[in-house]
Amino acid sequence: MIQVRLSATGLAAARFAVSPLYETMGLLMALRARRGGFDAERRRPRVGRAIDGGGLDLLASITLVHHASRHYVPDFLTPDPVAPGGSVEAELHAVATTDTSRVRAELDILTAGRRLRGDSGIVGRELPRLVSDAVQTGERDFAERVAGELDVVWRTVLAPEWPRMRARLEQDIALRGHSLAREGLAGTVGSLAPSLDLTDGVLTAASRYEVDVTADSVVFVPTAFHRPTVVVDPCPVPVRRSPVVLYPAVPATPSRGEDLAGAVGRTRARLLDELATPRSTGELAERLGLSASTVSYHLQGLLRAGLVTRVRRSRTVYYHREQSA
């Protein structure tokens, strides 16, 4: 069992966030373990094509070769989520600039393993030759190369459908927000998965590992590929990271935009769906993968129809969906 003892500060600092790289690594690990169901398996051909295209040797050696379930995958590949809605650029930058002492320490855990409480522990394994050769050029160069390979997997496999995936994950977080208001944090944690619990400030997760740590914060990350678990950093170098709770996101429900699509067109329906929260033209363009000029054109149409309003704050104009829409 994993136990995380949260102080009052830790409970107050608990937050939910979306992480593109946790999803990317979750997909790779699900494929490695041949689990994850249809969501993962239907993406296997794209992952295979990315690998066949070359340039993913380090990442494949670390994550895709089928090893025993207790073998370690370095945690620096999944940095702490830095933005509520998920920023792959920021997360890739965090991987590339990981403190070199952490890179070295985590590779040491990968090879030597790590004894935990009782009979549990991380099983070490021999470092693949190409990985050990790559490390010889320096931990910084190694981290940058792995970040580049993660970027290839991201762009090839998940980026094309990220707007839809992110919408599902953000929808889950919104539901958890309602649960927090009604049931508090303990009730919400209990609803994430049967194996998770929060009682008297102690977060527990069913696990083969025996871990007992104290933490001053915790991040909850909904995911499409990971099994429910608590990720506890085994490496205190240079500082130990906050625990991350991975839990299955609720299935996507049909967007109200799908009902609106027939009336106003799919692009404008998607805009209305996004504008439940005030957003700028630039934000909308990024979230929907459209050009700013295209977004602006459709916003003008929605303005004329009285379906959205706009307000200027400083130098930025924000649009918001009318309640009648």
pLDDT at 286: 86
Q: In this model, does residue 50 exceed pLDDT 80?
A: yes
Q: Is residue 16 within 8 Å of 221, Cβ to Cβ?
A: yes
Q: Considering the entire predicted model, what is its pTM?
A: 0.75
Could you tell me which of 50, 53, 2 has the C-alpha nearest to residue 24? 50
Q: Return phi, psi of residue 316, to 5°.
A: -115, 135
Of 18-27, 35-44, 249-258, 279-288, the range with the highest mean pLDDT is 18-27
For residue range 155-182, what is the model confidence (pLDDT) as tens digits? Answer: 999 999 898 899 889 989 988 998 898 8
The radius of gyration of the chain's CA atoms, rounded to the nearest angstrom, is 21
Pick the CATH number of 256-321 from 2.120.10.30, 3.40.50.300, 3.40.50.10540, 1.10.10.10: 1.10.10.10
Cα–Cα dist 114/253, whole Å = 42
Q: What is the dihedral of CA 143, 146, 150, 155, to 10 degrees?
A: 100
**Between 215 and 117, whose confidence is greater?**
215
The mean pLDDT of 290-298, rounded to a whole number, is: 90
The mean pLDDT of 253-259, rounded to a whole number, is: 49
Share of the chain above pLDDT 70, in %: 88
> Sorting pLDDT into bands at 50, 70 and 90, what band is 257?
very low
Reported as half-sphere exposure (CB side, CA atoms, 13 A), residue 207 has a value of 30
Q: In this model, does residue 2 exceed pLDDT 90?
A: yes
> Sorting pLDDT into bands at 50, 70 and 90, what band is 100?
very high
> Sorting pLDDT into bands at 50, 70 and 90, what band is 5?
very high
| Average per-residue pLDDT for the chain | 86
Q: Is residue 110 within 8 Å of 127, Cβ to Cβ?
A: yes
pLDDT at 65: 58
Q: In this model, does residue 125 exceed pLDDT 80?
A: no
| Region(s) of the chain under CATH 1.10.10.10 | 256-321
Q: Is residue 230 within 8 Å of 241, Cβ to Cβ?
A: no
If DSSP codes are grouped into helix, strand and coil, which group holds residue 116?
coil
The mean pLDDT of 18-38, rounded to a whole number, is: 85
pLDDT at 263: 46
pLDDT at 19: 97
Q: Is residue 319 within 8 Å of 299, Cβ to Cβ?
A: yes
> Quick one: 37 exposed, middle or buried, by C-beta within 10 A (0-12, 13-18, 19+)?
exposed
Q: In this model, does residue 149 exceed pLDDT 70?
A: yes
**Between 305 and 204, whose confidence is greater?**
204
The mean pLDDT of 282-293, rounded to a whole number, is: 88
Q: In this model, does residue 268 exceed pLDDT 80?
A: yes
CA distances from 143 to 96, 235, 310 (A): 5, 16, 44
> Sorting pLDDT into bands at 50, 70 and 90, what band is 36?
low
pLDDT at 189: 95
pLDDT at 218: 97
Q: In this model, does residue 274 exceed pLDDT 50?
A: yes
